[in-house]
Chain A
């Protein structure tokens, strides 16, 4: 029989006391009531451990970097120790052929009952040659590993949307996971990187309840992505008052005014930064005086300047935005109308003369 989560944790040197703490922390992080701590504990004591394969495609490892800095060391230790038992080529002890063999072993042994977490995405151009893992294109490893999995976690904006490697013109044809693997349940945890606490909470939820947390239409867990940065931003009163930073280091910047005019993407970005914050709740970009760049949104690299409120539109070969373009067209139409009016007046005068 396979071990339960609890047995694994004890074997990893985690005390019962710490285990129970972990359960209540997790319940709190997930926004569940205190009574759920007991449920989580019960599940972990009785359920056989679900293995996780953590694959790395075209990526920068910022998701892993974020993950290992989770504010709750307990959560991190617990989950990390469980993940590293299986496969994660960045943090596991094994390497080379030995490591690659683990993927095969898990797929065979736990058919239909393991989770694949993907960091990064597969580039599809040139038969996937832009990302080689263990001598083979990453897309092949991804297809192989996910064929019998229970569910997929798309870590970060790379796996969820493509991120920088898929930015225009996307020479390697980097493609988000859900466009390559279409027959498996996928949970997207976007962000560049996603917040550590969000990552650990999502994994814990899936391991304990053996199902996905509630997702929105785009496949993101509602509990962390149902509100925009703007909705919970502490600078919001300045936005409503109409008090903005007009240029870097001006009086408004010193007073902590809203960064809207400096191109803050908080109003269009769904993430939990303004509530959970970063690095053990220390701060987040807006608190440090820089606007949100919208890192958890689809195609955030291709929406023009991070420092402009209105999106650049370059389809016409010139630097433009909605106002520059629309205003230009309106001016041309205004001119045409004036010309038309002038011709009409002349014609009318001429016709009058004829009559």
Chain B
């Protein structure tokens, strides 16, 4: 684009993901895995347990694990939003993407071309690339908001009228969808939406790690972004 593009970049590594972001990422990944597995078995339970009812509590444990992981995701999510404001600029990327920036949308288009094999080289970003930001924002952020809201609405049905879960969620979510069964169906469908996101997310992370010009997976562990070449970083003004 500009003459800067040709400038050699000397910086070898940048600290991108702060400790809270990395911690949140892996705790969240684990909790969502637990939620998807237990959620699936809530919808389609395992074969019946032999013996007396009093000696078994399988469905109870599965549901307990689901609700516990649900709380972990919900509390972690609130914390993550707080961190979007308190953390570094990269902490904001998937929660408050610059949706009104033309430059940013151009970046999105460039990444789309990269994935369609229409361009030979991806651009180099310190944080997430714009397409990743967009997908994480639209699919992941709002998908999780949806799961938390509908999840707590279903949870409130068990804790009953008068509980905060019921008053804050069930009381308006259930009439909004029509009835409880519809909330179950949507909660279930959006699980698959998130699973599709996870498939793509993992694939892209692995692929970028191999094919792009920056580290991806190790960055989410160490926090440091390392670069494989010395060319210009997108958005870098120096």
Contact = CB atoms under 8 A, between A and B. Distances in A.
Contacts of B161: 216, 222, 226
A34 interface: no
A329 interface: yes
Nearest to B197: A333
Given A297-B179, A297-B180, A310-B185, A323 B44 contact: yes
B139 to A, nearest CB: 12
Nearest to A303: B181
Given A311-B181, A337-B200, A241 B56 contact: yes
A260 interface: yes
Mostly, the B contact residues are helix
A242 B56 contact: yes
Interface in A227-270: 227-228, 231, 237-244, 246, 252, 257, 260-261, 265, 267-270
B172 interface: yes
Interface string B38-71: 0010011111110001111111101000000000
B160 interface: yes
A164 to B, nearest CB: 16
B162 to A, nearest CB: 9
A334 B214 CA distance: 25
A325 interface: yes
Interface stretch (B7-15, B78-86, B186-194, B223-231): B186-194
B60 A326 contact: no
Contacts of B158: 231
Contact of B179 (A268, A323, A333): A268
B59 A241 contact: yes
A16 interface: no
A146 B196 CA distance: 52
Contact of A351 (B53, B57, B58, B120): B120
Contact of A348 (B58, B59, B193, B211): B211
Interface residues of A, number: 53
Interface string B126-170: 000000000000000000000000000000011011000000000
Interface string B184-216: 110011011101100110010001001100000
A246 B120 CA distance: 56
Contacts of A216: 161, 171
Interface string A322-355: 1101110110011001001101100110010000
Nearest to A218: B175
A327 B158 CA distance: 28
B200 A326 contact: no
Contacts of B59: 239-242
A341 B192 CA distance: 22
A217 interface: yes
A348 B43 CA distance: 43
Contact of A294 (B46, B181, B189): B181
Contacts of B175: 217-218
A261 B207 contact: no
A299 interface: yes
A310 B196 contact: no
A313 interface: yes
A246 B53 contact: no
Q: Which of B117, B179, B185, B195 has most chain A Cβ within 10 Å?
A: B179
Contacts of B172: 217
A309 interface: yes
A227 B200 CA distance: 41
A311 B185 contact: yes
Contacts of B185: 310-311, 313, 322
Interface string A278-297: 00000000000000001001
Contacts of A147: none
A7 interface: no
Given A241-B59, A294-B181, A322 B45 contact: no
Contacts of A310: 43-44, 185, 188
A77 interface: no
14 contacts: A217-B171, A231-B158, A238-B53, A241-B58, A242-B45, A242-B46, A242-B58, A242-B60, A268-B181, A313-B185, A322-B188, A325-B192, A326-B189, A330-B199
Given A216-B161, A297-B179, A310-B188, 19 more contacts: A217-B172, A227-B160, A240-B60, A243-B53, A260-B45, A267-B180, A268-B179, A303-B182, A309-B43, A309-B44, A311-B181, A313-B189, A323-B192, A326-B195, A326-B196, A340-B115, A340-B207, A348-B210, A351-B120
Closest 6 CB pairs of A and B: A326-B192, A242-B58, A241-B56, A268-B180, A322-B188, A240-B60
